[in-house]
Amino acid sequence: MSKKIDELLDHNYDGIREFDNDLPGWWTWLFILSIIFSFFYMAYFHVLGAGDSSQVKFMKEYDPDYRPLPGEQNSALLANVFPTYKSPFRTPGSDVMQQDLRGGGAGVVTEFALAEEEEVDLSVVPLTDAAALAAGQKTFTQFCFTCHGMSGEGGIGPNLTDDYWIHGGLFPEVIHTIKKGVPVKGMISWETQLSPDQILEVGSYAFTLIGTNPANPKAPQGDLIASGE
């Protein structure tokens, strides 16, 4: 005897009733396949440790040379059962990186502190010719606007159009900040990404933004240094 189709069940929820029909075949198979996939996923990430966790992916984006620590090679699933297990797919990080991470990022802070201690070249002056400023604007809109806004109004990073400066408002200090970055605040060092000419151009362009009035400017941060001088 074939099963009845579109037969209403007895229960009633605020006037809403439902049919006692089987799930569609495609839905059932999708459910079964998702369960099968979960076993492969669990083995790939949590047993073999062949896949990177979101934390390791972030670290590799931040530092392409990053290698996970030996402890990170163990999956949480196996750590208690096989504490000495090491995934064959992982290469442990260096002792220096381990020491940095154990210190809660102390290595990064130390690196930034040393960068700040480096002498600022006070002979650097902003470029004023149109070609250099246009090149600086191109670099700014390519790399800098995501944090500082398209018009320098600020966002994740500080507002570049006011007279307040966090790491010094002299032009040489601005160039120094671009070159060395502010790792503890998320700003990378650009001296390995941009040429010295590009750094000088984008710094000069950023200096032209001082005193402009963009829409939705970020609140001032740092110390007041009139006209960035």
pTM of the entire predicted model: 0.50
DSSP H helix total and E strand total for the chain = 10, 2
CATH number of 130-228: 1.10.760.10
Nearest in space to 178 (alpha carbons), one of 150, 197, 154, 151: 197
What are 125-182's pLDDT values in tens digits? Answer: 999 999 999 999 999 999 998 899 999 999 889 999 999 999 888 999 999 999 988 8
Q: Which two tokens stand for residue 31?
A: 């459910």
| pLDDT tens per residue, range 31-78 | 999 999 999 988 887 777 777 777 777 777 777 776 665 555 445 555
Whether 125 and 185 have beta carbons less than 8 Å apart is answered as: no
Cα 146 from Cα 156, distance rounded (Å): 8
